[in-house]
Amino acid sequence: MKKVKTGLIGFGTVGTGVVKTLAGKGAFIKKKRGVAVEIVRIADKDLRRKRPVKVPRSKLTTDVNKILNDPAIDIVVELIGGIQPAKKFVMKALKAGKHVVTANKALLANSGKEIFGLARKKGVTVRFEASVGGGIPVIKALSEDFAANTIQAIYGIINGTSNYILSKMEEDGESFKSALKSAQDLGIAERNPLLDINGMDSAHKLAILTLLGFGRYVDVKKIFVEGIQNIELRDIRYAKQWGYSIKLLAIAKEDGGRLDVRVHPTLLSSKHLLAGVRGAQNAIYIKGDMIGESLLYGEGAGQKATSSAVVSDIVDIAESVAVGKALEMPNMNFDSGIRGMKEIGKVKSRYYIRFMAVDKPGVLAAISGILARFKISISSVTQKERHKEHAVPIVMLTHDAVEQDLKKALSIIYRLNAIAGKPVTIRMMR
């Protein structure tokens, strides 16, 4: 049996997990799948750091070219993350006719077109199951299992940190700050959690899912992104009273021939399967014309789950390399019937709105009058407390409204004397 030679760039948490897995389970995998994978070289800037896995010194290098220029290496595994120098390494590997496995969502979201294009030109494969949803097989499901489907919608909870924080707030009544701190203490959130809580991590992953589902490269900068940093405990509580949970959703859906792609906190019915996704777990809900409604749920991060996905990518490629035939890269940029992007201003949605208002007669009448002028109708409304001196929250759910109409209405309402502070708006899942 031919051993398929693999080079690993990046010997951090996931890299260590991959090395450990192949060392401990190589024989198990070989028995199951009939292929032997050997990591012949590992490149990392820092070779001094202690790692919980034993690797012969001769396999370690600080020079990635020892991998990229080695004709014996068939598969390059890129696990350094970030755009550069990862991109340079990946492009060089592809140019050299090597297959690539990567977990790098930022890289693929930003440079997928170049990378996949080059892979197809060179007749090699890029696999990236670990880039979205950790151990959840969503990449393969979209590219292979659901290949015959016209995908209609993808809704993802694909940032574990945000979901952990929102779950903690909802279940334990913690403030955003305190929930974030507990996520950091548990190692779920990084010390700098900005990309997680501001929604950008979800946007990177969403760009990848959108490509697989709808055949369109979406410029990440053009995705409408709103994070969870402004979600207050009381909004979670009010939503819960009406039977809703607030989740950070990454959404890509077809709407009248256009592609509606966005990331934002969203109220969804507590009965929806996605509402049951708690803690740092991830889930992706996919609607297709043949499969109907589908949900894939699991651990979205962590050394083990991510390594599991990376190793399965390596083994898939190794299988075809072992029999001497390269897998072909699917055509990512297919025509799914989408004709352009939906602007966020034109998106129709139901809304949760919280106004802070002085408790005077006529305030609610004024608010609802202005909303009505923009054809926005209210489905539920509650005035939460009654303190004469202070502003009181007026909380409402609307029926479907066009985003730009709502914005205009709110800017007028904001100027009312009785309104204290900017209204809080959270979109609802239709």
Chain positions contacting a copy of itself, by CB under 8 A: 21, 25, 28-29, 31-34, 129, 134-137, 140-141, 144-150, 215, 271, 273, 276, 281, 283, 288-299, 302, 304-305, 307-309, 311-312, 315-316, 319-320, 323-325, 328, 330-331, 334-336
For residue 184, give the amino acid letter.
Answer: Q
Could you check whether the bond before residue 265 is cis, i.e. omega within 30 degrees of 0? no
Nearer to a copy of itself, 29 or 392 (CB): 29
Best CA proximity match to 188, nearest among 172, 170, 165: 165
Taking the complex as a whole, the smallest distance from the CB of residue 325 to a copy of itself amounts, in Å, to: 4
CB atoms within 10 A of CB 121: 11
Best CA proximity match to 166, nearest among 243, 224, 245: 245
- Torsion (CA) 284, 288, 290, 295 in degrees, nearest 10: 10
Taking the complex as a whole, the smallest distance from the CB of residue 348 to a copy of itself amounts, in Å, to: 27
Distance CA 357, CA 370 (A): 15
- What is the 3 state secondary structure string of 228-269? CCCCCHHHHHHHHHCCEEEEEEEEEEEECCEEEEEEEEEEEE
Q: For the chain, state the CA radius of gyration.
A: 24
Distance CA 302, CA 296 (A): 17
Nearer to a copy of itself, 72 or 148 (CB): 148
Taking the complex as a whole, the smallest distance from the CB of residue 129 to a copy of itself amounts, in Å, to: 7
Taking the complex as a whole, the smallest distance from the CB of residue 68 to a copy of itself amounts, in Å, to: 26
Distance CA 421, CA 328 (A): 56
Taking the complex as a whole, the smallest distance from the CB of residue 277 to a copy of itself amounts, in Å, to: 8
Nearer to a copy of itself, 120 or 204 (CB): 120
Q: Which residues are catalytic?
A: 205
Nearer to a copy of itself, 144 or 343 (CB): 144
- What tokens were used for 76? 């390059």
Nearer to a copy of itself, 281 or 349 (CB): 281
DSSP 8-state class, residue 141: I
